[in-house]
Amino acid sequence: MSMLVRKISTHDPYQIQSRRLFPGHRHGSACLESKIGTGTGECRARHRNTGKFAHSAWCAHAFVTAIQLPVRLPFGSISNKTDPRAGLAGRNKSARVTDMADQQHIPLTRDTIRSGHIRDLIRQHATTYKVLSDEELDASLASMFPSGAPETDVWLFGYGSLIWNPSIHFAEQCCATAHGYHRRFCLQTHLGRGSPEVPGLTLALDRGGCCRGVAFRIPKETAAEELSIVWRREMVSDAYIPRWLSMTGPDGPFKALGFVMNRKHVRYVGQLTEEEMARTIERASGFLGPCSDYLFNTVEHLNELGMPDQGLTRLRDRVVEIRASGD
């Protein structure tokens, strides 16, 4: 039995095509459900028939799910969908009221990124870490290519907000798995999704396991411009380290640029428990909006793509419980 995967092209952003990969593989289409823990780096796949989890040695196939057609996802567009349950219980607004959080929310778009407005805001309030200059950002980007600039098409891996708000132009996207890292809320934010008084959390790739997300192919003709936007979005400080990630996608292995956690950075909080994460995410808000919206968006879009993250879903459910209880 072969393995089914989904590949999406921006030429028709609503079209999802099934492909067969690794024909004759003895596990076949057994990979129905992945388990990627937010804290353990765990990446396993559940066998379709037995319900048992397989070893992480073949978590390369964890992005594969049972195909449910059609699934209409307006990829390439900027979406800001949130979990409909977010407002049912009422937010603990008093816990979030800060000068920064009360500001009007700023949309994260190509224009706001390129204008430098968001980076200027962060620079004004960053007191415990450095905000990189344009020259430092350009040097960091150039260091990723032997010639200092892209000479071929470039794949970019999204595992959080890049999935539902890429803010770049790309030629193609597909579901893919990054190896050696797992997705975790381990990066503290005092501004975008939090405030100095009530810091929030954002996702990063931390060591171990694997992570399913979306890979974007950027044509070489526009790669320099598009990656410059990405760098000014993701590399505001040196909390992330750009890496060429080992990936598995519909057509087999490939390399993609991705941003992994700098564990030496002052904002690294990899020791948080799931309960601590949930309470932080429930309370925090910044000029990009509530931290909970960031979590809800990521969970919802991963589910729509057929790539549910059990750890993030469990975290989402706990945030909803806390909000409902008024704790």
CA pair distance 199, 285, nearest whole angstrom = 8
CA pair distance 173, 187, nearest whole angstrom = 26
CA pair distance 236, 186, nearest whole angstrom = 17
CA pair distance 256, 10, nearest whole angstrom = 18
CA pair distance 138, 116, nearest whole angstrom = 14
CA pair distance 68, 72, nearest whole angstrom = 11
Q: What is the 3-state secondary structure (H, E, C) of 157-168?
A: EECCHHHHCCCC
φ/ψ of 158, rounded to 5, equals -110, 130
* Structure tokens given for 109: 């778009």
Select which of 234, 274, 282, 321 is catalytic.
Answer: 234
CA pair distance 19, 175, nearest whole angstrom = 12
Q: How many CA atoms lie within 13 A of 271 on its CB side?
A: 2
Grouping H, G, I as helix, E, B as strand and the rest as coil, residue 108 is coil
Q: Has 276 been annotated as catalytic?
A: no
Strand partners, 189: 200
* Structure tokens given for 301: 């879009």
CA pair distance 203, 294, nearest whole angstrom = 9
Angle between helix axes 274-283 and 310-325 (nearest 10 degrees) is 60
CA pair distance 311, 184, nearest whole angstrom = 9
Secondary-structure breakdown of the chain: helix, strand, coil percentages, each rounded to the nearest 5: 30, 30, 40
Amino acid, res. 103: Q
- Residues classed as catalytic: 234
